[in-house]
Structure 1
Amino acid sequence: MPGAPVSEDDLAALVDGRLTPERRAAVEAWLAERPDAAARAEADRSQRDDLRARLAFKAHEPIPSRLRIANIRAARRARSLGQLRAIAAGVALVALGGLGGWLAKDLSGSGIGAASSPVAFVSDAIGAYRTFVVEVAHPVEVRAGDEAHLVTWLSKRIGKPLKAPDLTGFGFRLMGGRVLPAGKGAAAMLMYDDDAGTRLTVYVRADKGAETAFQFMREGEVGTFTWLDRGFGFAVSAKAERGRLLPIAEAVYKDLGA
């Protein structure tokens, strides 16, 4: 509303160019009477523009071959074939009895343990999404208006230099982020929303699992793309179809894969 008090959300939206013309005029009039607040808003705008300029080269880098859709499908077919062979081998070992049965138990146990890790990761990511996207007053701890502090704080907590991916090309604006518990460490979560009120999260935490290609999972109405890369796990979650979420996940990979 043009006559509503100016909030930090209004200032963040002004910096990001997300205000309606009427609200923009009201906020600019408010800033004209408050030089300190105006200077802070201008500094935030300059910082945003500088960051985008310095990271622009990432948008032109090609997606690695291991993350291409055709290669992902081929890898899935190979994994499925490998699992069938492992099952057949286990049955054969059990048929031998005695030592063979013991070996089959050992082999199948190690395989299942390795396969369950991605499931646990995506479960945590979707759990975090479901917990906080419904929040109205406090969906994030640090709002987008203080993006520099947010990024520095999250980077320090998870031990990885982070950026807030620019998803405005997909209609999503940064709302802010928070730190979440993750075993003995911490996870970072960034939250975005669009004009329709759809919220999207980017979840990042340290993960020592082997690097993986993009994997898509759906839990009810929530879709999630996950991948492991250089010691960290990443998840992009939203109530969105796979086709809409994939290019967003690719953009996040480009921004955070450095």
Structure 2
Amino acid sequence: MTTQAISEAQLHALADGVLPEEQRAAIDDHLRAHPDDAARVGAWREQNRQLRALFDPVLDEAVPPTLLQATSPAAANGTWQRPAMQAAAAVVLVLAGGMGGWLLRGDAGDSITTSASPLALARSAAIAHAVYTPEVRHPVEVGAEQEAHLVQWLSKRLGTKLQPPALSPLGYRLIGGRLLPGDGDGPVAQFMYEDGGGKRLTLYVAKERAGRQETAFRYTQEKELSVFYWIDGQLGYALSANLPKQELGKIAGAVYAQLEQPR
């Protein structure tokens, strides 16, 4: 008897509650036979629950008139001005963050979360930041006193050379990092930094399946948590902190500049 292959997209659709009912029996049989996949689906559901708790209240807020105006083309020449495009993108990202726990809609209308998408990258980074930065005794797996070992270990696991940016000129010291599970594209690295007052920020680095050359910064915020994120070749980056956009943007610029230096 031939068993139908179960795709990653179907597992995500099940976790997001959008799997077609006629596929449910086959997926349930698959999960009973593959406990690892069942555990992954359970973890994704928990991520969605946490994100709904964080972002759903955004849907009840009114969109600022200045941002609504920014979504209109410039009257003078019929083209979109750069500030308007950035503001409109911010509106889209914030609203997308509140709808269905950051579900992404494909061309066919099916809601599927994909690990290769920038939104999914920001989502995972925000969750990892919220989970580990409050830790007092074990915020990282390997401390900065073993930085050489940390870098070698994470580079080997991600299959690419990594180097945590030096942020001491901006008041943040590296306190260490850890290895995290990715959503189907292999492991993820998280580097954690701390300033003199104990405020922490994290740099989340993930391998991107698509390998796109998309280097422009994107930004999203919920309450006090800000995230700048971008895709550069085969790696996706997300910098998260409870900081104002302008302040975190300055740090993100410094991070980007160092990552672009020849290694």
The normalised TM-score by structure 1 is 0.57
Q: For structure 2, list consecutive stretches of 5 or more residues without a partner in the other structure.
A: 1-79, 91-104
Secondary structure of the 1:109 match is coil
Total equivalences in the alignment: 165
Contact persistence 1:150–1:176 (CA under 8 A)? yes
Give deviations 1:208-229, integer Å, cap 9, x for gaps: 3433310011122110100000
Classify 1:190/1:115 alpha carbon distance in 2 versus 1 (closer, same or farther; 3 Å): closer
Structure 1 segments of 4+ aligned residues over 6 angstroms from their partners: 77-80, 110-116
Match of residue 169 from structure 1 = 169
Match of residue 154 from structure 2 = 154
- Give 1:166 shift: 0.6
Give deviations 1:22-58, integer Å, cap 9, x for gaps: xxxxxxxxxxxxxxxxxxxxxxxxxxxxxxxxxxxxx
Match of residue 143 from structure 2 = 143
Q: Does 1:211 align with 2:204?
A: no
Give deviations 1:181-230, integer Å, cap 9, x for gaps: 00231000000000111100000010134333100111221101000001
- Give 1:112 shift: 8.5
Give, as a single letter, the amino acid of the residue that structure 2 aligns with 1:219. Answer: E
Classify 1:245/1:72 alpha carbon distance in 2 versus 1 (closer, same or farther; 3 Å): farther
- Give 1:142 shift: 0.5
Match of residue 231 from structure 1 = 234
Give deviations 1:93-138, integer Å, cap 9, x for gaps: xxxxxxxxxxxx9846389878992221111000000010010000
Contact persistence 1:163–1:255 (CA under 8 A)? no
Give, as a single letter, the amino acid of the residue that structure 2 aligns with 1:119. Answer: L
User: 1:31-110 maps to which residues of 2 (within 5 A)?
Assistant: 73=83, 76=86, 107=107, 109=109
In 2, Cα distance between equivalents of 1:72 and 1:115: 28
Quick one: percent identity of the two aligned structures?
A: 41
Give deviations 1:2-32, integer Å, cap 9, x for gaps: xxxxxxxxxxxxxxxxxxxxxxxxxxxxxxx
In 1, Cα distance between equivalents of 2:244 and 2:158: 29
- Give 1:75 shift: 5.4
Give, as a single letter, the amino acid of the residue that structure 2 aligns with 1:168. Answer: S
Q: Does 1:196 align with 2:197?
A: yes
Give, as a single letter, the amino acid of the residue that structure 2 aligns with 1:157. Answer: R
Secondary structure of the 1:182 match is coil
Match of residue 94 from structure 1 = none
Match of residue 128 from structure 2 = 128
Give deviations 1:126-155, integer Å, cap 9, x for gaps: 000001001000000110011111111111
Which structure has more helix as a fraction of its residues? 1
In 2, Cα distance between equivalents of 1:127 and 1:115: 14
